[in-house]
Chains A and B, each alone.
Chain A
Amino acid sequence: MSDTKLSRRTFLRYLLGTGAVAAAGGVGVGLAPAAQTALARTDAPKARYALIIDTTKCVGCGACVHACNIRNNLPEGKSYVHIVPKDDRGRQWFLPVQCQHCADAPCARVCPTRATYRHESGVVLINEKLCVGCKYCEVACPYQARTFDEERGVVDKCWLCLDWVSEGKDPACVQSCVLGARIFGRLDDPNSEVAQLVASGKAKPLHPEFGTHPAVLHYIIEGE
């Protein structure tokens, strides 16, 4: 073994072998997201509800944020709805963002415990008994819609006030919007205002390029 020529050849052989194993592993694991995309359920069942935000009417007053915070008893500095101020060449407008209840929700895909799941109504929910608070979903949500509750050690977010909604009432944020910038209704009733706004293409998903197929939230944005 002390013959340098032989040892160099041995070294190169093992180096190549190790490299091949590493490359195969890397490529295999690296292709996983692509495979997941290919297998993504774009035929996911349609959502039962729609919440349409008309940004041409929103003035960023924050009533929806307050109503949501009171409804969900959130501590100071935490919120399920955040208002992003926008500036298009001097024209100011506001973009309220919360959980979009995606059909292909990345939060549900990356959750190691299945705590995040899609309810039959299309609303994305969190089973707090399963959540370990790893915050992977918070990192993976492209809408930055999730917050971490330090006290209980779990992640939470907008749940569309599903208890009220299933009794036929509106979510807290919708009830509080005095300007009519939040339009809520049944998507499975083709005659409802929301169903017609979505069908006509006037209300569109936010950032479709994220590829998550937002199912409940749609937006009316001026100039689009």
Chain B
Amino acid sequence: MGQTAWGWLIAIYLFLGGLGAGSFLMAAFFELSGWRYRSNFCPVALVGATVSGPLVALGSALLIFDLGAGRMQPWRIFYMFTHFSSVMTWGIWILTIFIPLALVYGFLELMESEAFLKGFVSARAPWLLRNARTYRRWVAAVGGVFAVATAVYTGVLISDVGPAIPLWSQPVLPFVRIPMLPILFLISAVSTGMGLTFDISATIADPEIQRRFRIMDLSHIFLIGLENIAIGLLFISALSAGGAAAESAKLVLYGPLAVVFWIGVVLVGLVFPFVVHAYAIGRGQHSLTSGVGSGVGIVIAGLLLRYMIVYAGIPAAL
């Protein structure tokens, strides 16, 4: 297999960072577009805002757990804020800003829906409840920018190793200096965020929501199309690049990772959700099972995609 320095802890972190960022973006989108105000209760905004902070925080905890001396002597972690030529330094700044914003966003969301919190806030800080919508919109807008940064940076982090691991630094197109992974991870982050907050949570909370937001079926199909193109381009260019990049592609396409790729990523995460959403567009509604099933498939595939990319990273031959 590929490189051995980074393993499943890093893969899970890349996944959770994307999932948390994507969930935040979904909540922020429903907030800023005003869609959440179409009904008294918006599960997408509520769940997206509530889970994003904890998910990204959990991922970051895994990162710290993967450290060596930084885990044994945690004060060393502060050194990681200092070197701006390192994408990891950017990342730790992005996370340090995004996690509190996401947690605040979750709180602003919960304080209106949870009676206990609402009582507490109205007694201590009634101004918070009075202007809740304004605060939420600001946090959603600023946090949204950092959510995009979080999702993109996870891809930049591993693509910035350059010639050391050719699969990770594959460009979008030959001779274009932009790497593919940041783009793929961003698409996948939005996709998994949508799967978690809309397909799973919103469908369970309110099956009728699928009918009210039919545009989401089209959005899913659009993202699946984009992700198909990105994954296709990545492996075609890796194969044509030869060397370690081609070896990586072979691992994924018909090597030890083929089961993870063809079944876990392609079938469960792309084909199955596509069929579900295309069928829903035709019929005009989802069944509870198909909606939730498609979301679970998309989320699991998001994890397997990261796992596959991390483990297929073969170092350049010497």
Task: Give Cα A7–Cα B37 distance, bound, in whole angstroms.
Answer: 12
Q: Name which residue of chain B comes closest to A212, CB basis.
A: B163
Q: Which residues of A contact B (CB under 8 A)?
A: 1-2, 7-8, 10-11, 14-15, 18, 21-22, 25-27, 29-34, 36, 84, 95, 97, 106, 109-115, 128, 130-136, 138-144, 148-150, 152-155, 206-207, 209-211
| Cβ proximity bits B146-178 to A, threshold 8 Å, 1 near / 0 not | 001100110010111111110001000000011
Q: A111 and B83 in contact (CB under 8 A), knowing A1-B34, A14-B33, A140-B162?
A: yes
B152 and A113 contact, CB distance less than 8 A: no
A85: min CB distance to chain B, Å: 11
> What distance in Å separates the Cβ of A59 from its nearest Cβ neighbour in chain B?
18
| Cross-chain contact B186 with A26 (CB below 8 angstroms) | yes
- Bound form: Cα–Cα A152–B71 in Å: 11
A11 near B215 with CB under 8 A, answer yes
Residues of B whose CB lies within 8 Å of any CB of A are: 3, 5-6, 25, 29, 32-35, 37-38, 66-72, 76-77, 79-83, 85-89, 92, 144-145, 148-149, 152-153, 156, 158-165, 169, 177-179, 182-183, 186, 190, 215, 219, 313, 315-316, 318
A75 to chain B, nearest CB (A): 15
A30 with B179: CB separation less than 8 A: yes
A25 touches B152 (CB 8 A): yes
In angstroms, Cα B12 to Cα A175, docked, is 46
| Cβ contacts under 8 Å, A148 to chain B | 5, 68
CA distance A134 to B13 in the complex (A): 13
19 more CB-based (< 8 A) A-B contacts, given A111-B83, A131-B69: A14-B32, A18-B29, A29-B156, A30-B183, A33-B177, A106-B164, A110-B86, A110-B160, A110-B161, A112-B83, A113-B82, A131-B76, A132-B69, A135-B5, A139-B164, A142-B315, A144-B315, A207-B318, A211-B163
Contact: A32 with B164, CB < 8 Å?
Answer: no
Q: Main secondary structure on chain B at its contact with chain A?
A: helix
A142–B163 contact, CB under 8 A? yes
| Number of A-B pairs, beta carbon distance below 8 Å | 179
A110 to B88, Cβ gap below 8 A? yes
Asked, given contacts A22-B148, A95-B318, A144-B315, whether A114 binds B83 with beta carbons under 8 Å apart, the answer is: yes
A-B contact pairs, 26 of them (CB 8 A): A10-B34, A21-B144, A21-B145, A25-B148, A27-B178, A29-B152, A29-B182, A33-B160, A95-B318, A110-B161, A112-B82, A112-B92, A130-B76, A130-B79, A131-B69, A132-B70, A133-B68, A135-B6, A139-B313, A143-B318, A149-B68, A153-B69, A153-B70, A206-B318, A207-B316, A211-B162
Q: Nearest 10 A-B pairs (CB), nearest first? A: A133-B68, A153-B68, A132-B70, A113-B79, A153-B69, A112-B88, A34-B177, A30-B178, A142-B164, A112-B80
| Structural contact, B38 and A154, CB atoms closer than 8 A | no
